[in-house]
Every structure is written in structure tokens, then in C-alpha cells.
Amino acid sequence: MTTAPAGLAATGLHKAFGRQPVLTGLDLNVPAGTLTAVLGPSGSGKTTLLRILAGFERPERGSVTIGDVIVDDKRRHVPAERRRVGYVSQEGSLFPHLTVEANVGFGVRRRQRHGPRVGDLLDAVGLTGLARRYPHQLSGGQQQRVALARALAVGPRIVLLDEPFASLDASLRAQVRADVHAILRQAETTAVVITHDQDEALSIANLVAVIRGGKIAQLAPPQDLYFRPADPDLACFVGEANLIDGVADGGLACTPFGVLAVHSALPAVPSAPVTLLVRPEQVEVRPGAEGPGVPGRVLSSGFYGHDAVIRVAPDPSCLPSPIIARVPGHLRVLPGSAIRIGVRGPVIAWPRHRPADTTTHRTDSVAAASVTAPQRGSHR
Amino acid sequence: MTGNRTRHDLGRQDEIRRAEVTTTRVARTRQGVFGDMVPARRTAPPRILIGASGAVAAVLLAPLVFLLIEARGAGTGTIAHLIWRPLTASLLWNTVRLTVVVTALCAIIGTLAAWCVERTDLPGRRVWAVLVVIPFAIPDFVVSFGWASLATWVQGFRGAVLVMTLAVYPLVYLPVAASLRGADPGQEETARSLGLGRARTFVRVTLAQARGAILGGCVLVALVLLAEYGAFEILGYQTFTTEIFTEFQVSFNVPTACALSLVLVALSVVVLGGDTAARGRGRLARTGPLAQRMTRRHRLGRATLPVLAGFVALTGLALGVPLGASVYWIFEGGAHAISGVSLVYAGWHTALYGGVAAALATLLSLPVALLAVRRGGRGGRLLERSTYLVLAMPGLVIALALSYFAERYAGGFGYQSAPLLIVAYAILFFPLALVGVRASVAHAPVGLEEAARSLGQGRLAVLGRVTLPLVGPGLAAAFCLVFLAAVTELTATLILVPTGVQTLATQFWAYQQNLSYGQAAPFALVIILVAAAPGYVISRYFDRLPARATRPL
């Protein structure tokens, strides 16, 4: 914590295992002092990226810069132990033959090992009384906090965390996640957290990088990523999304829900076909068959206490595919009941280049999904 | 082990996650666009590791190569003629029928004993658990001596079945007990809840869980039986091994010994191959989270007394008779029999050879274990597999090949010298060392070393502060395993022991051959004592293995 946090830049990283390319020219810029989440499904190359940054793995092409020092490129390779990069693995990787105290003090110089430094860190991660325990005597969450304290003890310029909460119970995860977030913030270090959990990424990070096809598809603050995703696929990947077709004219778009305000830049072509993103919480649901809005029937509903998520089959003459809506928990909508739906704008839109291609694919998958939903009554 | 746990957990979470989201439209799109799987990360093993493992494999397979060279030297026609004889058929009959009967008996006794100790409320379980294993440390030829010196009817086929079953059943007991301890008791409860009765649950679930362990134990038993010399010589039962020994050591008939050795090695290969084929593809690993619940033990109820009587009989016959016979002959032989000097002298040489051989075998197995555990890969697996071939070479064949080669091609250099004996031990017991070293290497996953390096530690510091402390106990167990085996080895020692030197086993053998039972008995007791100490260390280590393995880390 004595060291100033450093920024990190990876440029044009290529890495393949056997014939399978994993990273294909990945660029990532992490500003100093931020907490950046790298989000992607399993097998997308997240861990490989982290291991390259930590120095356990060498990229075939590309370079890695930490602070203003190039640590990896064609000619140079600074080994892991000289990068001053803290690494917290999925399972924590605590040394089973050492106590908590000895684990945390592992990288500290011999003289300071039993000094106040280790004690302070244990206080910081909330494990004051557990210094003499062995790793197997700790719960999963405690182990992760020890692993974090151990990484912070050497005063790293950057901390890398590889799915640090994946091995924890759902109930424990939220708490440990908040703790770790607080500790990292207090330590004022640059951190990169890898995760396949979008809630995790959106809730703790300053910046979220979505990895797709071996590249970073978008790097943005959480709000921007959620409300202004770069393309329809990203919109579906981060959060739930309804994609509907429309025709854009200037700052407005004509849709089955009427004319909606569009707040993304669009080509200044009049009457351009576009795909619009409507988040479920932007969908307004009004009970009853009469009144404004698109008529439809509730296909299914899932109740989560604070809110409920319902699937609606709109009148096919208005909209071909079901719509997902998030409604307040107190609103009682039973499957089969008739409702009307509208959209609260503004929304964002992308030009539709290949109208047949992407949209059809999505409609098909929805049709397949709706087979399982209880569908009572017909629309006509 | 840690890796397994996390992978399980991750797998489960992925499953839950998938189940949660498949109903939504988003998830389907997401999987289509993002869900391409990538094979597991695998870095190429360092060349030095491959080189070292290759060298080890070459050393291990050298005796086999020597044997084939020898056979070629004698001429294919001669060898074929020597094999197609009535003698071979009768040896084959003797060897095979004994192997089948004893292996079957050991499988039954070992499995039942293990089940009673691990899964029932048998009174005095902990004591039985120790007593039942001790025969492991008593050499077969001592058991054989104990019985044959007391009862004249113990000889021939019946005697061989009795003696060998009592001497080697722990080879089935040990793995089966370990596997029952590690197996998921929840599976038995699940089977009961699915409507299976006690007996069918035992057969379809419990035995199925232990199937791999039982098979593994049976293979070891069969290999020991194929290689055994001393016990059969005492009992006057002729097998391939005794015949080869006689041809080589007494008649100096090298071509015949060589031809019969080829048949013996072929038999062992059949046993090893049968094991691989019979194992099948089923996985027996537990799939749930690894926190182990205490099992409710089965009540023996009215069967308690008969089962206890069975355990008393088993330990009495397997442990009491050899020990009792040795003690009996010491007193019967009179005071003049015990010569402290020769005991200490032989004991020193035994410990010296055993210790050096154990260190060498442990060292040799290190690169192979590292390659196999850490780097997967087709090359690594192939190398590791090739070292299993050593199991198919009885000690007698290894000794024979090495001594013949030293005499013929090295100009007699090294023949009947200590280094050659030590090398023979190291090759012979390499598989034992590999078992211990593999387990210990698995205790030091690469992740821990990487964690240490990211904390600023150089390679040497990582080795000293992380890898060695974690691997150490396992290496010690491997050392003890080989040491124990070397102390109780007789056949190869008889051929290769340096001129003018006696080990405990060879001195015992010399006295026993002269029917000087009173003088032989103290050597038998000392062998048992020397072998018991490392045996205790090993059992402690392997007892702790499952507990350590389930540690969440």
C-alpha cells in the first residue's frame, strides 16, 4: 500500500492453446487506481488474459505494460516474481502448511513478518482473531480474504483477482464481494477482477470490459455498458434485453409501441431500419384489455419479492415475439390474464444491416423457449 | 485435490446458472454468441523434465531389453524348443491354479475384513485395523517358514494356498479400506431410498464403489504370486519362479532360465492387461461437495460374535503362527543359536542397501510423477505407462537380466557388487515409490507455486518454502515403502548380494536351508521389526490422505 497504483495496458495480445485460438489481438487499458471487471462466459479466455498479465503465461504476440514499464513483449519477459502484481486465484491457493499469519506474511521481508504490517492487514480484512489458524480451519469466504490480504501485503502495484467469489455459496458471495470491494478501495490499488457474473461486474467495478471472441468487445463504466451497449449481442449478454424492430427518423423511432425517443447516435438517413433495445424495467404493464398500449397476454411470471419478471405474448399483429417485463412485486399478474404494454423511453438503437439474419435467429430461440411456458387461451 | 473440488463447485454453479437462465430468451442468445468452449490450458512440459523421465524409463526397461537380447543370443529355435516342453505345461498349471485360487481368497478375505472394519460397529475396530495389516510387513518366506517348521502337512498346493493367502491378503485389504473410507456413504443411503435391500445395496453400491480398489489389490496379489520364490521353495511347490531360480543358480542353465523368464513376464503382462481391460470406464468419484459426513455404521447385531471370532482366527493364523514359530525356535534352539554380531552385521548391510535403494527409487520417480501429475499430455502419460511394465518383471527376472548383462557385456564389472543390487532394488520397487511420490506431488498444485511467485519469491525460494514442505511427507512415505520392500526381499538379493556379505534375508535363508531353525528364527524376528517401523509411518501417511484430500484448502 506504500506504492502508488499503476495503470496497465495490454496491446494486441494473441494466445492459442494447440490449434484453438483463445486471445485474438486483445487490447485492454486499465487506468491507475480503478477497479476493472473483465466479464465473459467460461472458456472465453478471461483467465488466460489474467495469467498473461500476472506473468505465468506468455502471449504469442502483443505486449503488456505496467506503469510505464514494458513487462512482456517479443523480447522481454519480466518473471512473475518481479512484476509486483498481486494475484488471487479462484480457490485462494493458500499454503496449507502455513498459518493465516504466515500466509499473509509470506511475501513480506523476514523482519517485518511478525510486525504490525501483517496484523494491520488482518484487521483490514476482518480476520483479527484468526492469525494462528490453518487454512483448512477457515470458511471459504475467510480463505478468500486471507488470500487478498496476502496479495496486498507485498504492496503490489496492481491486484489481479480470478473469479474470487465463484467458489463461495450464493448467500456468502454478496457479503464477501462487498468486503473485498471495500478492502480494495481502502488499499487504493489498481485491481482487475475476472468474473462470469454480470451482477458482480456491474455492482463492484468502475469499468467493465466484456471479452468476446478473444477481444474486448466493449470497455465502459457499468451504467454505460448497461444502457448503451455497443451492439445487440452485448445488450443481450449484459442484463436481460428485448430487441424490437423499428424505423428511425432523426432522434425518434417508429415502433409497435408508438414513437420513442432515441438517445444514441444514428446515421442521418431518413427512414433507416433499426434494432431497438428495451430493458425489461422500461416496459410498462397495465392490467386489463382496454386502453392505450399493445394488447397481450401473460405467458408466465416469476416472483422475486421486490419485483417480478413476466413474459408477455403481445398481439402477433403488433409484435411477433414475446416481451420480458419487470414489474413491481405488488402487481398481481397471473399467467393468462390480459394486459397492455407500453415502453418508457428513451431507448437506444442500432442500424439494422442484415434484417433477416440476427433478428430471425432471436425470434426462433424465443419461439423455442415459449413452448415450455404455460400458454393459456389464444390471441384471437 | 483442491483443483477437483473447485472444478466440481464451478461445474455445479454453472449448471445451476444454466438452469436458471435457460428459460429466458436472453440466455439462449448469449449461449449462441459467446458459448464456445476452449480446451483446458496446457503448457508444454519443460525439456529437462521430459529428458529426465525418458532416462528413467530407459533404466527401468533395461532388464527387459537385456532379457530379449539374451533370448536372441540363445537363438529363437532353442528358446522355442525350451518353451514347448511338458515341464512348461506343468509349471504353467501349477502357477496359474495357485494364482487364481489365492487371488480369489484374498479378494474375499481382504474385502470382507475392510468392510467390517470401515463400515460396521465391530468392537475394537481400531485395534483390528492395525493387527490385520501387520502381515504386510512379514515377508512371505517367513510366514512360510513359520508354518512349515511347525506342521509337516503344510506343503504342496494346499500349503501354498494357505500360506500365501495369509501372507498377501493385506494387499487387497489396504486399498479397499482406503476406498471405502473415501467413498460417499450417501450413495448407500440413496440406494436404500430407491428401494434396494441391504444385500443388494452392498453388491450394487458398496462393492461397486470399491471395485477399482479390489481389482487393483488382486493384480498386486497375482503379481506377487508370480514372483514369489522363497515361500514356495520351503513348501516344495514348483512354479515358474522356483524353476527359473534352480536353472540359473544351481544348474547355470542360462538359456532355459531365459526361456522360462519370457513365459513368466508374458503371464505378468496378461495380468496387468486384464486389469486395464476390466476396470472399464465408470467413474467412482463422488460428485457432491466434499464435506464428508460421518457414516452411520451398520449394526452387526447377532453376527458380532462370529465376526469377532473370524478376526481372531485371521490374525492368529496370519500373525500369531509366524511370530510364535520364530519365538518358539529361538527358545528351542538354545542359547548358542543367537549370534549378536552376525545379526548386527547383516542388519547393517540390509539397512544400508535398503536405504540407498529407497533414496534412489524416490529420486527416479520424481520426474515421472511430476510429468504425469502436472503436465498431462499424451507424451507424459505414455512415459508413465511405460514404467508400469516394471510391474511385469519379477525380482528374479530383473536380477537375472542384470547379472547376466554385467557378466557378459560389462566384463564381469559390477556383478555381485553393492551398486548392482541397489540398482536392481530401485528398478524393482520403482512402482511403489511412484505411488507415494505421485500422491505427494498432487499435494503441491502449481497454483500454490504461482501464488508464491506472484508474492515476489524466486524459483529457489518457492522450492524451499512451498514445494518441499508440501511434498516432503509423501516423499518420506515413498522412501519407507521401498525400504520396507527391500528389507523383506529375498529372491533378487540371493542372486545379487555382494560376495562375502550377508543381509538379514540371505542369512536367514542360509540357516533355514540347513534346517538350523533356531539360528534362522532371530533373523526372521529382526526382519519383521525392521520392516514394521517404516510400515507404521506409511500407514499413518496413507491414513491421513483422504482427510487431507477433502480439506477445502
Tens of pLDDT along A17-45? Answer: 878 889 999 999 999 999 999 998 878 88
Are the C-beta atoms of A50 and A88 separated by less than 8 Å?
no
- Structure confidence at residue A9 as a pLDDT band (50, 70, 90): very high
Nearest CB to B451 within list A82, A87, A97: A87
Burial (CB count <10 Å: 0-12, 13-18, 19+), residue B170: buried
- Alpha-carbon torsion angle B477, B478, B484, B486, nearest 10: -160
Fold agreement (B65-279+301-318, B336-548): yes
- What pLDDT sits at residue B307? 93
What is the average pLDDT across B96-120? 93
* Predicted pLDDT at B296: 65
Q: Across the interface, which of B29, B456, B553 has its CB nearest the CB of A236?
A: B29
Most confident of A77-86, A176-185, B315-324: B315-324
A22 CB neighbours in chain B (<8 A) are 38
pLDDT at B113 over 90: yes
pLDDT band at B108 (very low <50, low <70, confident <90, very high): very high
Among B30, B40, B43, beta carbon nearest to A236 = B30
Chain B residues touching residue A18 (CB < 8 angstroms): 39, 42
User: What residues pair up with A294 in beta bridges, in sequence order?
Assistant: A341
Strands A85-88 and A158-162: parallel
B468: nearest CA partner in chain A? A97
Per the model's pLDDT, the better-predicted residue between B49 and A6 turns out to be A6
C-beta of residue B394 within 8 angstroms of C-beta of residue B268: yes
- Confidence class for position B8, pLDDT limits 50, 70, 90: very low
**Closest alpha carbon within chain A to B446:** A93
pLDDT at A356: 44
Across all residues in chain B, what is the average pLDDT?
Answer: 79
Q: How far is B538 from chain A (nearest CA, A)?
A: 20
Q: What's the pLDDT band for B25 if we cut at 50, 70, 90? A: very low
Shortest distance, CA B35 to any CA of chain A (angstroms): 7
B150: burial class by Cβ within 10 Å (0-12, 13-18, 19+)? middle
- What residues does each domain of chain B span? 65-279+301-318, 336-548
Q: What is the pLDDT of residues B364-420, one digit of tens each?
A: 988 888 887 776 567 777 777 777 788 888 888 999 888 888 887 776 666 778 889
In chain A, what is the straight-line distance between the N-terminal and C-terminal CA atoms, in Å? 67
Contact B319, B134 (CB under 8 A): yes
CA nearest to A44, candidates A195, A207, A200: A195
Nearest residue in B to A23, CA atom: B38
Partners of A147 on chain B (C-beta within 8 Å) are: 451
Q: Which is higher by pLDDT, B15 or B210? A: B210
Q: Which residue has the cell 488382486?
A: B218
Which among B489, B518, B384, B492 is positioned nearest to B438, based on CA atoms?
A: B384
- Contact check, Cβ <8 Å, B452/A82: no
Q: How far apart are CA A228 and CA A231, in angstroms?
A: 9
Put simply, the chain A residues between 243 and 302 with a CB less than 8 A from any chain B CB are: 300
* Cis peptide leading into residue A346 (ω within 30°): yes
How far away is chain B from the Cα of A45, in angstroms, using its nearest Cα? 8
Q: Is B373 left (phi over 0), alpha (psi -120 to 50) or beta?
A: alpha
Identity of the residue numbered A262: V
The domain B336-548 is classified under which CATH number: 3.40.720.10, 1.10.3720.10, 3.90.400.10, 1.20.59.10?
1.10.3720.10
Q: Give the model's confidence band at B29: pLDDT under 50 very low, under 70 low, under 90 confident, else very high.
A: very low
- The answer to whether the Cα torsion of B172, B178, B181, B185 is positive or negative is negative
For residue B19, pLDDT beyond 60:
no
The count of other CB atoms within 10 Å of the CB of residue A79 is 12
Question: Is the pLDDT assigned to residue A76 strictly greater than 90?
Answer: no
**CA distance, residue B34 to nearest chain A CA (Å):** 6
Predicted ipTM? Answer: 0.71
- Which CATH number does the domain B65-279+301-318 belong to among 1.10.10.10, 1.10.3720.10, 3.40.1280.10, 1.10.240.10? 1.10.3720.10
Please check whether residue B135 is in contact with residue B110, taking contact to mean a CB–CB distance below 8 angstroms: no
CA distance B414 to A183: 67
Q: Which of A142-151, B49-58, B277-286, B319-328 has the lowest mean pLDDT?
A: B277-286
